[in-house]
Amino acid sequence: MLGIERARAAFDKALGALGGAPSENSEATDENGPRKLDILVNNAGATSGGAFTDTTPTALEEVFALNVGAPYFITQLALDRLRSGGRVINISSGASQVPWTPDPSYAMTKASLDSLTRSLARELAPRNITVNSVAPGVVDPDINAAWLHASPEAEAQAAAWSVFNRVGQVDDIADAVGFIASPQGRWVTGQFIDATGGSMLFGA
């Protein structure tokens, strides 16, 4: 219980820093009433860094805690702070859709997140809250910097996984998230949004 209380306090502190207020606090208002959370993006994630035979119980527990447990309980905490008509967007991965032998535990966690997305989309529909997964392929943020830029060959191989023959950039994913978060995305829910640059077109 102590862990949940700490998580709730951290959540409300972050929400307050953005100008919002917990559901029980009606002091922060706008023309629509108490200012609340409009969009929740579950973006944190990590890999275990190992193939099937190299993954330890501790590594598996850690990657599940971050990639599945964190979005599960953060969304749970968000529910009474999330405005009706809001958005929940889970950052998944193209690895959840293919046999991903380099790190099957990572792919498994993202597949679990996709399943949660569909379940929540149905559960939250009465409040007009949409829930979707956006799945990047190889993107060039810090998490991939070490191996992606290790050699020209590594970068060329990563680029070849997209039909556009380039590595994805942060803006490529942010724009997909932006559409789902916008009013124009109001009729899209429970979906796996492929933002891999066409990697799925190559098949498994």
Residue 203 lies in a domain: no
Residue 30 lies in a domain: no
Burial call 119-134: b when 16+ CB within 10 Å, e when fewer: ebbeebeeeebbbbbb
Residue 49 lies in a domain: yes
Predicted pLDDT at 99 = 84
Predicted pLDDT at 100 = 81
CA distances (Å), origin 42, targets 9, 14, 72: 18, 14, 9
Q: pLDDT digits over 64-73, tens only?
A: 999 999 999 9
Beta-bridge mates of residue 113: none
Query: Which tokens sit at 199?
Result: 């990697």
Residue 15 lies in a domain: no
Residue 125 belongs to what domain range?
36-195
Confidence band, pLDDT 50/70/90 cuts, at residue 31: low
Predicted pLDDT at 183 = 96
Domain containing residue 106: CATH number? 3.40.50.720
Residue 141 lies in a domain: yes
Residue 146 lies in a domain: yes
Residue 202 lies in a domain: no
Q: pLDDT digits over 165-193, tens only?
A: 999 999 999 999 999 999 999 999 999 99
Question: Strand 29-30 to strand 33-34: parallel, antiparallel, or no bridges (unpaired)?
Answer: antiparallel
Residue 1 lies in a domain: no
Specify whether 106 is catalytic: yes
Write phi, then psi, for 156 (nearest 5 degrees).
Answer: -65, -40
Please count the structural domains in the chain. Answer: 1
Query: Which tokens sit at 93?
Result: 């991965």
Check 22, 68, 90, 106 and give the catalytic one.
Answer: 106
